[in-house]
Structure 1
């Protein structure tokens, strides 16, 4: 039969092992949460996250069904760029590919690299707004005074017409915000 001091020491070691496992598990979940959340958003369109497709993707056009697409553009404070869509709105046929052009100009006297964050509103429409090509997939570097036209090739998946949460959706807003990138990182 074990004595009381041995039992207490055994319980303390077991408690310490369990606490250590919980701490390691919590730390692991903390590191895994960002990529897991990103994957979840990309798969579900949660929070207005758009979908991605390649150029070979075939989509059936829903003739007679149109939506208004509004384009919004912003730059963070301190980003020395002008950034705007060539056209603020567009009417698209659901399922048909369309293209929007955004213009960016570096207003500073030095090269500036930026990256764009994006979202869609209403957020429930994000699961159906699909980008084929977008300047937001890569960083953009503009030389002093340089102006560029940047395309976004996209379509709205016809499945949106069968979604009861989108039955009243008549306009989708695609919004971009450009952030400066320094040393390969967005500022915090």
Structure 2
């Protein structure tokens, strides 16, 4: 005797609802993942968390201390076909003194490429005290094939750093940049790991 299977329409509708909720949840999680990156960057820049430097609203600290501090410069690339490096590896400035350093970038690709720099400092706790007045990292940079660009950064170390117990003995701060491709440049840069430039740079003092 043949048996006929009868499908419950209520159960079928329930399955559709569950499947729809799962798809919506999955899509929402993907959207949150993409949104988390810029939101995290904004949080770090506002608080100095993770060694993120501050964007200064004024060009000067207001006072300069009779205390030297060495600022070292680091450059890395993550997917951009550029040669990216600091002009000088380090400078010595006074705490509170406004100084200027320079990086250079050369596009080694056969078409224009747009890059964007992320940044932080070491030690991480110094992030809130490292103030950048002007920086190439504030905007995207587009280089034509073979073009070389001078990329200055103007900064000062907030004198209040000497009042932080955990930083009172800090004598060196390292400012590090990593250059990434802007989305429209894919597939030039997809999933290429961070690489450190190995070009030797002659150490020299920079103008303040």
TM-score, normalized by length of structure 2? 0.70
Question: For 1:77-96, what aligned pairs fall within 5 Å after superposition?
Answer: 78-96=79-97
Mapped to 2, the partners of 1:85 and 1:180 lie a distance apart of 19
**Gaps in structure 2 of 5+ consecutive residues:** 1-24, 192-208
1:86–1:34 distance in 2 versus 1, CA, 3 Å? closer
On the 8 A contact 1:181/1:187 being kept in 2, the answer is: no
What are the superposed Cα offsets for residues 55-83 of structure 1, whole Å, 9 maximum, x if unpaired? x444223331111000000111x421101
RMSD after superposition: 2.8
**Over 4 Å off, 4+ runs:** 30-36, 184-188
> Is the 1:103–1:148 contact (alpha carbons within 8 Å) kept by the matching residues of 2?
yes
Q: Deviations over 1:94-129 (max 9, x none)?
A: 111100100000111111111111111000000100
Q: Deviations over 1:123-169 (max 9, x none)?
A: 00001000111101111000010001010010000010100110221
Structure 1 window deviating more from structure 2 (59-68 vs 152-161): it is 59-68
Structure 1 unaligned regions, length at least 5: 1-22
Partner of 1:41: 44
Equivalence for 2:162: 161
Is 1:69 aligned with 2:71? yes
Deviation of the 1:36 alpha carbon: 5.3
| Equivalent residue number for residue 16 of structure 1 | none
